[in-house]
Every structure is written in C-alpha cells, then in structure tokens.
Structure 1
Amino acid sequence: MFLDEKELIVLTGRKMKSKQIAALRDMGVPFRVNATGHPVVTRSSIEGRKQEQEPRPKWIPRVLKESQGL
C-alpha cells in the first residue's frame, strides 16, 4: 500500500527525511508526512493507478428537486 524506506531512498535519491520531502515536492509526487516526520507515499501514486475518488452525490430526479426546493 505504501512505499517502504528503501523504496523512498531509491525514488528520491536521499536518505534524510527532510531531503526526501524536498525531492518529492520537486518531483510533484503526492505524499503525506506521518507523526514521526517521515514522508509517506502511496504505491498507487507511483505505479499510475487511480486513487480512490470521492463518492458521487446521490442522483435525485429533477421533478423531486423542484418539489423539494433543491
């Protein structure tokens, strides 16, 4: 699900977490910083898979929208 420490080093070319964060920002790779200050990168962001999207709002027919004032 997430890249491990060795994979992050290979990806960024850096061992220090602050340098890894800077490299990820420069490359435009989406990441989060965990509680220990280390960058966390999802495997799907590197492999090109689509990440989960927000669920679509429930469809309501126009007739019901108009009658409910939506």
Structure 2
Amino acid sequence: MAAFLTADEVATLTGRKSKSKQIEWLRQQGVPFRVTATGHPAVLWSAVDATAKVQAPVATWSPRVLEHI
C-alpha cells in the first residue's frame, strides 16, 4: 500500500474534484495533510485509516492533595 492517498481517493474522500475545495474540506474536517508543489493536497493513509493505532494520551502525575481542592 502506498503511503499517500491517490488523487482519486482524495476526491472520493472529500467529494470534491477541485483541489482548492478538497483542501477546504480537509481543513474543515481536521484531516491532516500537506499541499504539494502542484497545489494538490497530500493525505497520508494513516490519517484516514481506522485501523491505525492511536496513541493514548500520556497520563500526568499530580499529588493527591490537589484532588480535594
């Protein structure tokens, strides 16, 4: 599998054919991407792959005395 979605896959994901509209949709949806030198959005598969592992937030320590404030 390639690291990036193809142009057709980005069009299918966004429902848009225009690269500016694709970029607008990706921004609105919070999908991380980069713009290539040709102005097309480049989306990593891991950004949209539901099976990708999501790292859990790192738990931070705080003293128990602060729990009662």
Runs of 4+ in 1 over 4 A off after TM superposition: none
Q: Shift of residue 26 of structure 1?
A: 0.6
Task: Tell me, in whole angstroms, the C-alpha distance in 1 between the residues paired with 2:46 and 2:53.
Answer: 7
Q: TM-score, with normalisation over the residues of structure 1?
A: 0.68
Aligned residues: 51
Q: Shift of residue 50 of structure 1?
A: 4.5
Q: Which has the higher contact order (CA 8 A, sep 6+)?
A: 2
Q: Which residue of 2 aligns with 1:46?
A: 48
Task: Tell me, in whole angstroms, the C-alpha distance in 2 between the residues paired with 1:50 and 1:32.
Answer: 21
CA deviations 1:11-68 (Å, max 9, x no partner) are 00000000000000011000000000000000011004248xxxxxxxxxxxxxxxxx
Superposed CA RMSD in Å reads 1.4
Specify every segment of 5 or more residues in structure 2 that has no aligned partner in the other structure, as ranges. Answer: 55-69
Larger radius of gyration: 1
**1:28 aligned residue (27, 30, 34):** 30
